[in-house]
Structure 1
Amino acid sequence: MTTKSLSVEQQEELLNVLKERFEKNMHRHENVRWVKVQEKLEENPKKLWSLYEMERTEGEPDVILYDEDNEEYIFCDCSKESPKGRRSVCYDREALDARKKNKPETSAMDMATEMGIELLTEEEYRELQKLEHFDLKTSSWVKTPADIRELGGAIFCDYRYGRVFMYHNGADSYYAARGFRGSLRV
């Protein structure tokens, strides 16, 4: 999809999917009302397109927080495992360009930028895990601090043994069980 806009039918279908997920998972957003979320989404078609991309890549986006100061709803990928349509990617363009052979199709940072979303930080990832446990079998790249990235590394997280673990790897590495989770402010 290159136009970054949705047809009326796509919008309606996506809003129905998001509403159903929202209502099934009230523990993620106890004091948020769907009608207000939908109003914000309908006012922001580009954000709706980004949510469509999150859904298309199997991220199962849902509202996890309302930022009162900025009057924004924060959506995050809530698929049980790292989104299937965003796995087997290295960390960023620099890492992708540095690979001599067996290059993945793209990078997590490039894909997130194209989708109009942000990779979670380690802190955001840990907060997400307080809502329910994710990445029990997979792992997810998270936004890597500049000092680590400058040394060629990148960080990723997962949930094992009752806690969140943060690890490091070469930014050019990629695995079938590692993708990334994103967030979107609407």
Structure 2
Amino acid sequence: MAATIETIAELGYAQASFSRIAERAGLSSTRLISYHFAGKDDLIGAVVADVYSAIAQFMAERMAGQTDARGALRAYLSGVVEFIAGHPTQMRALMAVFLDFRAEDGGRSYDAASDRDALGHVQEILRAGQASGEFREFDTFVMAATIQRSVDGLPFLLQTKPDLDLRGYAEELVTLFDLATRSQG
């Protein structure tokens, strides 16, 4: 997995062949990869699942113990930015896969269902905040999409500005969305 992620991050999805991955992994042939994965689509699916699993575990730790919606939203925004900052290779590989991967059946690694899952988690935080009175009334789908896109776009932004102050970025997002969601009462 690590060799695949590093190869995709460095060379891009299209150039990440079994032979290049095997070379990076120190394997004498591609047979071991072929033994475990039916093809490149299967391998890429495993890579995406591996990175998603790492993100989920990381975020579960950051979200643990949050008892109010404002704290949960703050932890979510800060946690996603922190993960991106600490895992640049995985994020470059994921970005390359999202941009270039097309499965043999025409499917993509990030599709409408994946997007609904990502937005659904944020919507749950927003709905809880509205129910508790912490957040004002607004369309939770629109706000969740805006929040999610602000962190989804960060790997692209880092391509343009690699020295971006990520701690400052996270703080600005927290402030922005705290002000945008805060109850007036």
- TM-score calculated relative to the size of structure 2: 0.25
- Greater strand proportion: 1
With normalisation by structure 1, the TM-score equals 0.25
**Larger Cα Rg: Structure 1 or Structure 2?**
2
